[in-house]
Amino acid sequence: MSDTSTTRRHELNLYRRYFDLVAAGRKTIEVRVRYPHLADMAAGDTIRFRIKGTDETCDVGVLRVTEYADFEALLDGEGPANVNPTATREEQLANIRRIYPPEKEALGALAIEIEPVNACDS
């Protein structure tokens, strides 16, 4: 990540339950809708996750970004345990769809493989 001309830093909010899994190194795949502002995310970038309304942050490095047609394909391709090791595939699909309604899912899904780059502030 020494080439600062191509690496980017993204700031994204994360719910507490997922933040804690990222901070512990147990969640290695972050799920997002393929929004235009995430279209340029790539390996080598960093993400600063923040619990909304707090000063708690966690910086992670992006190892890979993979696009999927929908959340079911993403969970099948990445493995549910990498997305959330504390929930079944069916629970995860229901939780993700509560966050992102069908019109958002229709934009496509991103699987972002991450790894912690420092200790998280929690």
Lowest mean pLDDT among 4-8, 97-101, 109-113: 4-8
**Number of folded domains in the chain?**
1
pLDDT at 1 over 50: no
Q: Do residues 56 and 36 touch, judged by C-beta distance below 8 A? A: no
- How high is the pLDDT of residue 59? 95
Whether 1 maps to a domain, the answer reads no
What's the pLDDT tens digit per position in 70-107?
999 999 999 999 999 999 999 999 999 999 999 999 99
Confirm whether 80 is domain-assigned.
yes
Whether 4 is in a domain gets the answer no
Residue 55: phi and psi, rounded to 5, are: -95, 5
pLDDT-wise least confident of 4-8, 27-31, 108-112: 4-8
Residue 93 covered by a domain: yes
CATH of the domain at 86: 2.30.130.30
Q: At what angle do helices 89-99 and 71-78 cross, to 10 degrees?
A: 140
Q: Can you tell me the distance from the alpha carbon of 28 to that of 22, in angstroms, rounded to the nearest whole number?
A: 7
Q: 28-82, pLDDT tens digit by residue?
A: 999 999 999 998 999 999 999 999 889 999 999 999 999 999 999 999 999 999 9
Q: What is the pLDDT of residue 120?
A: 78
Domain residue limits at 61: 9-116
Query: Does residue 121 belong to any structural domain of this protein?
Result: no
Return the pLDDT at 5: 54
**Residue 3 maps to a domain:** no
- Tokens 């997922």 locate to 18
